[in-house]
């Protein structure tokens, strides 16, 4: 066997497996580190809130999906809009990722404002974007159940720049929309927790074959 052949065998039996192991290990370490960043903070409690389109929404609708939630705050409205547009564009094709905004106000003026917000930013996807209104006491209850760290971050329900991420209604993390690295971390957490998407065409073909 010549040197060239020996070199080929060495690459095949030693180098390629080592490189594959390295990339596999790197990917596993990355996923493990990302998952360790998530914690169980609090579960989204039962609620019935009006959406801006007058439909009534309960958390059962999102029980098996992922939620990016925000307690709507006027001082950060424009920043939130920009971040939400990017997130929606990235995950628009998913039917198990939902974007919820909670407003502590049930007036018609707030309803109209939420509708204008959705229309102005191209966020009128009624299967994925929800703009919910509730009495201040009820929305405050929701924020407390989600363990929103307003006090330790120097924020409040009406001056809030934190998104929260929930998986199966369990709040797992918080992300400041003023910090780009926080948004990258959110995208990473969403991506790693996306449920496997069923191949509907394959399922249909299997049903036909039966």
pLDDT per position in the chain (210 positions), as tens? Answer: 555 555 555 455 556 565 554 444 554 454 566 567 799 999 999 999 999 998 999 999 999 999 999 999 999 999 999 999 999 999 998 999 999 999 999 999 999 999 999 999 999 999 999 999 999 999 999 999 999 999 999 999 999 999 999 999 999 999 999 999 999 999 999 999 987 765 444 444 444 344
pLDDT of the residue at 36: 74
Q: Dihedral sign, CA of 134, 53, 73, 70?
A: positive
Judge contact between 182 and 176, C-beta under 8 A: yes
Does the reported pTM lie above 0.85? no
Q: Which residues have a Cβ under 8 Å from the Cβ of 169 and sit 6 or more positions away?
A: 43, 44, 59, 62, 63, 67
Is the distance from CB of 134 to CB of 103 less than 8 angstroms? yes
Q: d(Cα 56, Cα 23) in Å, to the nearest integer? A: 47
């Amino acid at each position: 066997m010549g040197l060239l052949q020996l070199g080929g065998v060495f690459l095949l039996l030693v180098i390629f497996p080592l490189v594959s192991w390295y990339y596999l290990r790197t990917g596993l370490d990355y996923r493990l580190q990302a998952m360790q960043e998530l914690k169980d903070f609090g579960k989204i409690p039962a609620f019935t809130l009006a959406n801006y389109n007058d439909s009534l929404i309960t958390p059962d609708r999102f029980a098996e999906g992922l939620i990016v939630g925000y307690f709507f705050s006027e001082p950060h409205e424009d920043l939130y809009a920009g971040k939400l547009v990017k997130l929606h564009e990235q995950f628009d094709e998913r039917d198990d990722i939902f974007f919820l905004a909670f407003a502590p106000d049930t007036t018609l003026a707030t309803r109209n404002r939420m509708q204008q917000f959705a229309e102005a930013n191209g966020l009128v996807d009624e299967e994925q974007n929800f703009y919910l209104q509730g009495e201040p006491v009820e929305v405050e209850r929701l924020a407390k159940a989600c363990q929103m760290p307003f006090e330790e971050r120097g924020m409040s329900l009406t001056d809030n720049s934190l998104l929260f991420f929930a998986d199966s209604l369990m709040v797992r993390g918080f992300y400041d929309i003023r910090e780009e690295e926080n948004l990258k971390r959110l995208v990473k957490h969403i991506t790693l927790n996306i449920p496997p998407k069923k191949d509907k065409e394959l399922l249909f073909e299997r049903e036909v074959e039966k």
